């Protein structure tokens, strides 16, 4: 389902809770920002675009290249516009990803560095003509308050190809070449917890999906034996899983196994 204004405002209010007592001065200088923005303008000619999200005002600033590659005017381009351009199956995941990031980084202020550690995900974004493109998004910290809490972050996008139903597959990277660290592990745990709380599956259905996600080619009969319930009951659960997953993610899954693989790829299981 498409994002509603009410859902967006609830997300905005949740993010605002992390920055109720901002301490000044802000840490990153205009000179440092200028160097990054100049580089972003130069690379915008290579299927790239970017913008900065000011968490204090919840507005997009320094929008570079979006008009060229997606057809949207750089001004005005709001956060609501941004989320509306994302395929409906990924909006909830991206919002929970943002909240999980703020939860972890606010718990450990000063633990991230300017434009260093990055959460990377590939997302389908819609251009002005209604066509979805598979876009790599890198999110990095852009500004901090005096305590080291994130007050703005930059989103760097690279257009990859036309969208064909691929998974988001979030991951981590930093300038030292690391693909994970303790903070990222905490983020994944928090993100999984938040997403699982909002899954449209019963406890039993989630147990079935966890078994399927092991990737051993489980059949309904084998899953039934493992859970001490009949094959017919598993088949009924599988059908309910399919219906719920199709509604939740706007994807035409063909089996509960496929749903489990999708959830594992998205780091939900």
Q: What angle do CA 114, 119, 124 make, to 5 degrees?
A: 130
* CATH number for position 229: 1.10.10
Q: Residue 28: pLDDT above 80?
A: yes
Q: Are residues 141 and 31 in the same domain?
A: yes
47 and 89 belong to one structural domain: yes
Separation CA 107–CA 18 (nearest Å): 10
Count: domains in the chain? 2
Cα angle: 12, vertex 16, 18; to 5 degrees: 135
49 and 162 fall within a common domain:
yes
Q: Token pair for residue 97?
A: 């990803």
Confidence (pTM): 0.85
Tens digit of each residue's pLDDT (9 = 90 or more) over 237-260: 999 999 999 988 878 899 999 999
Can you give the pLDDT at residue 251?
A: 84
Give 134-164 pLDDT, tens digit per residue.
999 999 999 999 999 999 999 999 999 999 9
Residue whose C-alpha is closest to residue 181's, from 259, 108, 261: 108
Domain of 249 in residue numbering reads as: 203-265
**Whether residue 169 is found in the same domain as residue 39:** yes
CATH of residue 74's domain is: 3.30.450.20
Render pLDDT for 98-136 as a digit per residue (tens, 0 to 9): 999 999 999 999 999 999 999 999 999 999 899 999 999
- Count of CB atoms situated within 10 Å of the CB of 22: 15
Last residue of a domain, one of 171, 196, 221: 196
Residue 166 has pLDDT above 90, yes or no: no
Same domain, 17 and 139: yes
Give yes or no: residues 238 and 189 share one domain: no
Residues 233 and 180 in one domain: no
108/239 same-domain check: no
Domain-terminating residue out of 158, 180, 196: 196
**CA distance linking residue 255 with residue 212, whole number of Å:** 10
- pLDDT tens digits for 42-101? 988 778 999 999 999 999 999 998 888 888 765 568 999 999 999 988 999 999 999 999
* Same domain membership, residue 103 and residue 27: yes
Question: Are 190 and 174 in the same domain?
Answer: yes
**Paired strand residues for 125:** 86, 133
Indicate if 82 and 162 belong to the same structural domain: yes
DSSP labels, 11-27: HHHHHHGGGSS--SS-S
Do both 213 and 229 map to the same domain? yes
CB atoms within 10 A of CB 96: 22
Find the angle CA(214)-CA(121)-CA(243) to the nearest 5 degrees.
50
Work out the angle at residue 21's Cα, subtended by the Cα atoms of residues 190 and 153, and round it to the nearest 5 degrees: 55
| Confidence at residue 3, expressed as pLDDT on a 0 to 100 scale | 87
Residue 182's contacts (CB-CB under 8 Å, 6 or more residues apart) are none
């Amino acid at each position: 389902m498409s994002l509603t204004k009410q859902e967006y405002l609830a997300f905005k209010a949740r993010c605002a809770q992390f920055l109720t007592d901002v301490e000044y001065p802000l840490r990153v200088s205009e000179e440092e920002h200028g160097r990054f923005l100049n580089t972003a303008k130069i690379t915008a000619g290579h299927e790239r675009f970017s913008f900065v999200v000011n968490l204090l005002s919840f507005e997009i600033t320094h929008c570079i290249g979006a008009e060229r590659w997606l057809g949207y005017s750089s001004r005005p381009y709001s956060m609501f516009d941004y989320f509306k351009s994302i395929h409906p199956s990924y909006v909830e995941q991206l919002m929970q990803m943002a909240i999980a990031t703020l939860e972890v980084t606010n718990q450990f202020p000063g633990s991230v560095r300017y434009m260093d550690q990055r959460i990377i995900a590939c997302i389908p974004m819609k251009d002005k003509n209604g066509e979805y493109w598979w876009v790599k998004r890198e999110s990095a910290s852009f500004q901090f308050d005096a305590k080291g809490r994130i007050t703005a972050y930059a989103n760097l996008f690279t257009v990859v190809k036309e969208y064909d139903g691929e998974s988001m597959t979030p991951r981590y990277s930093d300038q030292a070449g690391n693909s994970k660290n303790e903070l990222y592990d905490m983020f994944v745990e928090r993100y999984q917890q938040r997403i699982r709380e909002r899954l449209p599956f019963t406890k039993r259905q989630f147990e079935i999906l966890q078994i399927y996600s092991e990737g051993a080619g489980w059949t309904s009969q084998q899953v039934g034996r493992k859970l001490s319930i009949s094959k017919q009951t598993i088949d009924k659960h599988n059908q309910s899983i399919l219906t719920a997953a199709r509604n939740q993610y706007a994807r035409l899954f063909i089996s509960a196994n496929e749903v489990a693989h999708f959830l594992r790829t998205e780091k939900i299981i």
